[in-house]
């Protein structure tokens, strides 16, 4: 009779007989007697033993690698299992250790070679993809003097000292502070702006001869703002939208709002999105974002303009996916904040965000978004940042709602816009249009409209029918 055990690494295979037991590190052989007449022979392993699996945990025990075969044979009534080697300098173990060291060196060499190949590919790709976008760019305009507009202005200005970065702002005091002291005291009083950042309240002067235009005006005010400056906008000027949300009355996204408001159907529009707080961008912390445009060359041009050692820029052609994910995550962040404000715990938070991600996917794919976009930077990446980090304005609104504060008081105390508050109602209208059930995001809209208390919303959500996960 012969018994052979060849478990996969870290398996927990059942015992062959009482003296053979599986363990996380392999198979332990104990000296308690096996069935009558059986003896054990250790066959040399097919591959060199990993030194982590060689352990003498007991004088009468040895650990055998998962690659070792074990043979049990009937040799007679009084057969005894051979004792495991007690000498640490056993030739077989020494050979194994030597083999392990050789394998470790080989493994390190494989990793090093793989990394060198990656670096060579990176250098080759950069040389082929390099354009003269940065060299040709002499002027950029940023519409809006908020936190993200200011951070983007500073980032572009630092890309090349010869670029003139014009910030179009409404507040003359902010304008004066930026030009004279190089500070936006409202949002970044401790961060000095590059001297090639210039503020103005004159739209015509700001837009004259600009190569790129960054739109950083809140979504709900964008149409009226753009209509005011439309006369000064060149129809070929590329617009890069930094605003996330849906226009409440029309359900339009920024890629639709900009051409419509400017009365320029062919106005080039690129959407910039992803997990990014303005403060961390100002602090030059590593950040990754995505630019989306149906025009691949335009997306590539913006990528070349912005990509730096601190900011990684991916490109995408899925404008709908990038925009709808960026809009809906703000509403989900309010829900996450409510859970935090109610002190419902980590289980609740994880369940709610997972459900919210599913709801975003259901609606976005119905609208034509790619599922891969929703798991990328503008989807999962932005959702994680906005739902779990205290710097999020929308999450802060939710936390305060959950703690019992009044929405008007919350918004009145903030110096920045929480887009999720306005977007919530528009999201529900979209859900009805595309026949998608969105219980979590609908609950947020009802709380904002004062139709439901946060506590009551949780109760109703927990009492929905138990269904199959999709």
| pLDDT of amino acid 115 | 83
Picking from 277, 298, 317, the residue at the C-terminal end of a domain is: 317
240-259 pLDDT, tens digit each: 999 999 999 999 999 999 99
Q: Give yes or no: 181 in active site.
A: no
Q: Could you tell me if residue 127 is inside a domain?
A: no
| pLDDT of amino acid 466 | 87
| pLDDT of amino acid 97 | 58
| pLDDT of amino acid 127 | 63
Q: Could you tell me if residue 97 is inside a domain?
A: no
Asked if residue 273 has pLDDT above 50, the reply is yes
Residue 130, C-beta contacts closer than 8 angstroms, at least 6 positions apart: 304
Q: Looking at the structure, do residues 34 and 161 belong to the same domain, yes or no?
A: no
Nearest Cα neighbor of 321 from 369, 359, 289, 262 is 369
Percent of the chain with pLDDT over 90: 68
| pLDDT of amino acid 226 | 98
Exposure string (b/e) for 262-275, b if CB count within 10 Å is 16 or more? bebeebbbbbbbbb
Task: Exactly one of 244, 329, 366, 370 is catalytic; name it.
Answer: 329
* Contact (Cβ atoms closer than 8 angstroms) between residue 250 and residue 310: no
| pLDDT of amino acid 95 | 61
209-234 pLDDT, tens digit each: 999 999 999 999 999 999 999 999 99
* Contact (Cβ atoms closer than 8 angstroms) between residue 392 and residue 290: no
| pLDDT of amino acid 126 | 64
| pLDDT of amino acid 96 | 62
Mean pLDDT score, 263-286: 97
- The strand pair at 197-200 and 164-168 is best described as parallel
56-99 pLDDT, tens digit each: 444 444 444 343 434 343 344 444 555 555 554 555 656 665 66
Q: Looking at the structure, do residues 208 and 342 belong to the same domain, yes or no?
A: no
| DSSP letter string, 437-454 | --HHHHHHHHHHTTSS-H
Q: Looking at the structure, do residues 147 and 231 belong to the same domain, yes or no?
A: yes
Quick one: pLDDT band at residue 48, thresholds 50, 70, 90? Answer: very low
Asked if residue 142 has pLDDT above 80, the reply is yes
Q: Looking at the structure, do residues 291 and 342 belong to the same domain, yes or no?
A: no
Q: Which long-range contacts (CB under 8 A, 24 or more apart) does 223-229 make?
A: 223/247, 223/257, 223/260, 223/261, 224/261, 225/143, 225/261, 226/257, 226/258, 226/261, 226/262, 227/261, 227/262, 228/203, 229/143, 229/168, 229/203
| pLDDT of amino acid 73 | 38
The Cα-based distances of 210 to 4, 139, 231 in angstroms read: 76, 5, 14
Which residues are 367's β-sheet partners?
none
Between 349 and 20, residue with greater pLDDT? 349
Mean pLDDT score, 155-175: 96
| Gap between the Cα atoms of 211 and 236, Å rounded | 9
| pLDDT of amino acid 125 | 63
Asked if residue 415 has pLDDT above 90, the reply is no
- The strand pair at 20-23 and 26-29 is best described as antiparallel
417-470 pLDDT, tens digit each: 888 998 999 989 999 999 999 999 999 999 999 999 999 999 999 999 888 887
Asked if residue 360 has pLDDT above 90, the reply is yes
Q: Looking at the structure, do residues 211 and 228 belong to the same domain, yes or no?
A: yes
Between 90 and 174, residue with greater pLDDT? 174
Q: Looking at the structure, do residues 301 and 354 belong to the same domain, yes or no?
A: no
Mean pLDDT score, 308-321: 97
Q: Looking at the structure, do residues 226 and 365 belong to the same domain, yes or no?
A: no
pTM of the model: 0.74
Number of domains the chain contains:
3
Residue 310 belongs to a domain with what CATH number? 3.40.50.720
What are the structure tokens assigned to 415, written together? 């110096």
Quick one: pLDDT band at residue 177, thresholds 50, 70, 90? Answer: very high
Asked if residue 141 has pLDDT above 60, the reply is yes
| pLDDT of amino acid 108 | 80
Picking from 251, 282, 317, the residue at the C-terminal end of a domain is: 317
């Amino acid at each position: 009779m012969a018994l052979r055990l060849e478990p996969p690494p870290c398996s927990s295979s059942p015992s062959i007989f009482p003296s053979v037991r599986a363990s996380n590190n392999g198979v332990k052989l104990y000296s308690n007697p096996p069935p009558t007449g059986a003896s054990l022979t250790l066959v040399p392993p097919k591959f060199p033993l990993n030194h982590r699996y060689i352990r003498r945990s007991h004088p009468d025990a040895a650990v055998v690698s998962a690659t070792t075969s074990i043979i049990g044979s009937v040799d007679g009534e009084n057969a005894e299992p051979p004792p495991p080697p007690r000498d640490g300098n056993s030739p077989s173990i020494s050979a194994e250790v030597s083999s392990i060291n050789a394998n470790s060196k080989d493994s390190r060499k494989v990793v090093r070679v793989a990394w060198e190949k990656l670096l060579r590919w990176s250098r080759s790709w950069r040389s082929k993809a390099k354009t003269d976008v940065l060299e040709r760019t002499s002027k950029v305009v940023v519409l809006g003097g908020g936190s993200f507009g200011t951070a983007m202005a500073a980032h572009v200005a630092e890309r090349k000292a010869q670029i003139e970065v014009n910030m179009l702002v409404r507040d003359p005091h902010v304008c004066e502070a930026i030009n004279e002291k190089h500070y936006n005291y409202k949002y970044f009083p401790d961060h000095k702006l590059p001297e090639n950042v210039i503020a103005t309240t004159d739209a015509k002067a700001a837009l004259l001869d600009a190569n790129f235009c960054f739109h950083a005006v809140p979504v709900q005010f964008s149409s009226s703002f753009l209509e005011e400056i439309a006369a000064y906008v060149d129809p070929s000027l590329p617009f890069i939208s930094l605003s996330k949300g849906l226009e409440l009355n029309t359900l339009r996204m920024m890629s639709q709002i900009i051409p419509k408001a400017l009365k320029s159907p062919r106005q080039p529009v690129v959407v910039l999105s992803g997990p990014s707080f303005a403060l961390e961008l100002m602090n030059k912390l590593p950040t990754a974002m995505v630019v989306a445009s149906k025009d691949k060359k335009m997306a590539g041009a913006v990528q070349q303009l912005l990509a730096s050692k601190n900011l990684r820029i991916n490109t995408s052609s899925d404008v709908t996916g990038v925009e709808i994910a960026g809009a809906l995550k703000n509403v989900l962040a309010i829900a996450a904040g409510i859970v935090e404000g109610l002190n419902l715990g980590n289980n609740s938070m994880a369940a709610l965000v997972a459900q919210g991600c599913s709801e975003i996917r259901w609606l976005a794919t119905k609208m034509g978004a790619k599922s891969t976009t929703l798991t990328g930077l503008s989807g999962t990446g932005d959702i994680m940042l906005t739902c779990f980090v205290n710097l999020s304005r929308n999450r802060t609104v939710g936390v305060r709602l959950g703690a019992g504060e009044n929405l008007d008081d919350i918004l009145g105390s903030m110096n920045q816009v929480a887009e999720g508050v306005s977007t919530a109602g528009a999201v529900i209208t979209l859900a009805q249009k595309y026949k998608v059930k969105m219980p979590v995001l609908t609950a947020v809209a009802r709380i904002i409209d004062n139709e439901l208390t946060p506590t009551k919303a949780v109760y109703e959500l927990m009492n929905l029918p138990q269904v199959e996960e999709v």
